[in-house]
Amino acid sequence: MLEQVFGTQRVVVERALSRRRLSDLLSTQRFDIVHLVAGVDPGTGELIFSDMDLQRGVPATAKVEKLAPAGLAKLLVEAKTRLVVLATCRALKLAVVLARSLNMIGTEEDLTGEQAAEWAECFYHLLRQGQALHKAYDLAASQVDAPLLLVPHRDVVFAVPPG
């Protein structure tokens, strides 16, 4: 979906993201927006890279690959990221930590894949049109029923060249 809105030249998609790969990407490249679909430990806010038991909302493996909120925040600052969208359930604790350094969109509620996809399509289309972050968020929230919350750091406009 992001590739359709912004083009394949401007989007990096990692379907089997690991902590090491995320660290490599964020420490060597610049990303204005990072959109993550991954588990989050609601108690600690840690990003979980291991497979998840979606029924219970817990890791499905004995050995769990995680990244602490402070570590993720440092990597995102290093990559000069201005917005993180975490399209997963129960991510508010992580969102609050990240919002100290950058803008964050996440939820403390359950979020279906259909809700996340519909909201993302609307939201990113509005950003592509040149809407400021807060306005794009407000417009998407008024059009799509998804429990995503903007935890703002500061408002930004993403300049996307035509084409």
The full length of the chain comes to 163
Residue 29 lies in a domain: yes
The residues of the chain scoring below 70 in pLDDT are 52-54, 56-60, 163
Q: Are 92 and 149 in contact (CB under 8 A)?
A: yes
**How many structural domains are present in the chain?**
1
Is residue 160, in this structure, part of any structural domain at all? no
> Is 157 part of any domain?
no
162 in a structural domain: no
- Per-residue pLDDT of 134-155, as tens digits, reads 999 999 999 999 999 998 887 7
Q: Residue with structure tokens 């394949």?
A: 8
* 156, part of any domain: no
Q: Determine the structural domain holding residue 88 and report its residue range.
A: 2-151
pLDDT of residue 130: 94
Q: In 3D, which of 57, 61, 86, 67 has the Cα closest to residue 20?
A: 67
In this structure, is residue 26 part of a structural domain?
A: yes
Domain assignment of residue 57, yes or no: yes
Evaluate whether residue 99 is within a structural domain.
yes
Using CA atoms, how far apart are residues 47 and 131, in angstroms rounded to an integer? 29
